[in-house]
Amino acid sequence: MNLKQWHSEYQKKIISLEELAGKIQSGDTVTLGFGVSGPSGQLVDAILDRNQELENVRICDVVLTKSSRLVDPGFMASIDGRINSMSGFCLKISRKIFKEQLVDFYPVQGDDAADKLNKITDVLIIMVTPPDSRGYVNFGLSNFYHTDMLMNRRESGFRLVIGEVNEQMPVVFGNNWAHISQFDFFVENSTPIPTLPKIVPTKFEINFANHVLELINDGDTIQMGVGGISEAVVASLDGKNNLGILSEMAPAGLGHLVEKGIVTNNCKPFHRGKSIATFCLGDQELYDYVTKNPVFELHPASYTNNPSFIASHPNMVAINSAIMVDFTGQIASEGVGDRHISGTGGQLNFQMGAFWSQGGRAITLVSSTSKLPDGSLTSNIVPELPLGTPVTVPRTFADYIITEYGVARLRYKTRRERALELISIAHPDFRGELRDRLKTKFYFQGPRVFRA
């Protein structure tokens, strides 16, 4: 298709926000693009404006980063049954509607998100860059399920694919493109790209990072998530050499690590010389670094998060956070009881991949305590998880657990040995109580009867 042909086709597909909203039908599941490549709040609000005309519409996101009435508990309660929300992850922006039970949770993780979304989607809406000279748009700072959903549209049969064209979205290389012929409609709408503030690690987080650094060696390939501890790890990597990046999310400070020669990606068996991820969420400095950078690529999460692919990287180090760990090594990272805090994300994918990797290490970071509403502390190393708490990583894949008090290695330990290891890194104020619970929980308490 030459320039004149694709440009003419593109112009015919441009519609307004109001016209786009009019394409939604009762009973539709509308899936939004992932993270910062999700549509603008204006576009979502245009759909919500039709709440009196529609019934049984679901708006589905996996990671929502843009404000709209979709996260307004009062408004969503008022349209319950006409338009409802569902999500695969809970960031801070969504906490209120999760707390009020106004959003349904759709359990997905990186490697299966596209498949699960394909099965339920009627309309897919993604923010994209303007077309290039050959008629290709770029998914910008997030891919995750975008490429896979478009590639498998014929088999899945969802009705519409709509691109919100934003000139402020940067181009990021990799398997991160689609032709305009794969879209039914476009809306042109220039809006700012959300950023996260730069995090200055606390002394507490730096202490965590020092324990993590003991487990990172020259030549390792690493994955890490967002947060102060990750920032502290990145800031403390001076002195390490030839690290590689294979991650779900591009780590903050990646540009500095490359400039200093800490990250070279020269030891990876695949994509040598390039950092690989499936999405970016960070500050403007990170976005500037990844824009049209030939040594950074985004790929579908079905690829980056495939545990077998991750495991094919020797010395893979996965670094993720948790809320709570029980005596047997069950890792809870999504919530406590019925209280929802996040989602599975890619944690289990990378935990398994690093666990299977030759020389790999799967690291879980958990604060030893949490503060209760009355100001008192409670231990996050527990004999058993509270009723209803989802297990993100099963105990069979537990490896290294780190608190601010040290490192526990669980992989080759029995149930009793694991509990003792975990108690050794629990807050000192709770260790006595935890030892007492261990005696009653994992040791024989009745009279010993010996038979001849």
Catalytic residues: 248
What's the rounded Cα separation, in Å, for the pair 273 and 263? 9
CB contact at 8 A, 218 and 242: yes
Q: Which of 114, 101, 123 is nearest to 147 (CA)?
A: 114
d(CA 412, CA 78): 53
Q: Is 431 exposed, middle or buried (0-12, 13-18, 19+ CB in 10 A)?
A: middle
Q: Are strands 83-87 and 57-61 parallel, antiparallel or unpaired?
A: parallel
Are 292 and 140 in contact by the 8 Å Cβ rule? The answer is no
Residue 171: DSSP 8-state: P
Quick check: 353 and 316 in contact, CB under 8 A? yes
Instruction: Name the DSSP class of 88.
Output: S
- Of 86, 145, 155, 60, the residue nearest 111 (C-alpha): 145
First to last CA, the chain: 88
Q: Whose structure tokens read 């843009």? A: 66
Q: How many residues does the chain have?
A: 452
- Assign residue 56 a region (left: φ > 0; alpha: ψ between -120 and 50; beta: otherwise): left
Q: Are 337 and 343 in contact (CB under 8 A)?
A: no
Whole-number Cα distances in Å, 260 to 13, 117, 242, 243: 46, 40, 10, 11
